[in-house]
Amino acid sequence: MIPADFRMKMERMYGDSGNDWMIHVEGLLESLKNRLQLTYGEPFSLSYNFVVPVQLGHGRDAVLKIGYPNNDFSNEFHALKDFQGKGMVKMLDYSKEEGWILLDRLMPGSSLLSIEDEEEVLSIFAHTAKGLWHKPESNHPYPTVQSWSKGIGRLRERFNGGTGPIPLDLVVKAEALYPELLNTSTDLYLLHGDLHHGNILYSDSSGWTAIDPKGLIGEREYDCIQFMLNEWKKWDAPLELLRYRTETIASLLSLSYERLLQYGFCHSILSASWSVGDGLDGWKTGVSLAGMFEELLAE
């Protein structure tokens, strides 16, 4: 039942432990099928977790997610509990010990990518984000924006103090700006951590709803950045789009326009650093976006 490409991905990432985990998943799928009276559909190929649509014994549609036992899955589990279905997909059942979560299936499940009008997209994003954000209610040690920012330091370590393919001046600016922003942070929330177009789905029963939270502690401005970095290449004037998005989000959510731009610049460089660390060429996109944020900051 586990797709071959998923097996290869997990073996490439985790080696023998990845293969051992997939053996565990196969046994768990059989056990859950009997215990929860599940009928399995075709697995999704969207993430580094094993995710499959299921139908419960009484006919309800749901989604089963089995996560590799690491901090990412633990953070998502606690974030789902902390958000308690408020703007977030609901957990129907779970076992943290066995590493699985049963989620409500959002139907029809079309994402924000299906909406062409940018004004409508921004309105939906703002409404969804506003419904999500709240003070953390558990004592779970979520990652923070500060801990994420250390990814730039790992870039330096990788290149013996250098910055590899990322322009030195941009890295130096991000290294100076991140601490400045963090030291002046005043109002911290539990954030989604990856709130982009593909993670906001429409449900006939509950409207626009977020999925796949990472769980992150930081200022609300930070949770807008991943959305702002997505779906811009198809626009003829991406700088104008970025300005429009920033101005509109700041207005709709009563956020700081300047901090949105500053966090956007920093996260673009962080994202580029992650990409370099993963051996991918996505760092070029991060550098391009950092340049646009820099232009808007200079206005």
* pLDDT of amino acid 9: 86
CA 221 to chain centre: 15
- 299, two tokens: 């206005």
* pLDDT of amino acid 238: 92
The Cα 191–Cα 185 span in angstroms is 14
What is the residue-level pLDDT of the chain in tens, covering all 299 positions?
888 888 888 888 889 998 999 999 999 999 999 999 999 999 987 667 899 999 998 889 999 999 998 899 999 999 999 998 788 999 999 998 999 999 999 999 999 999 999 999 999 999 999 999 998 888 999 999 999 999 999 999 999 999 999 999 999 999 999 999 999 998 999 999 999 999 999 999 999 999 999 999 999 999 999 999 998 877 889 999 999 999 999 999 999 999 999 999 999 999 999 999 988 888 999 999 999 999 999 99
* pLDDT of amino acid 46: 62
Instruction: Centre a 10 Å sphere on the Cβ of residue 33 and count the other Cβ atoms it contains.
Output: 15
- 290, two tokens: 């950092």
Q: How many CA atoms lie within 13 A of 108 on its CB side?
A: 4
Domains of the chain and CATH, by start? 4-104 (3.30.200.20), 110-298 (3.90.1200.10)
* pLDDT of amino acid 186: 86
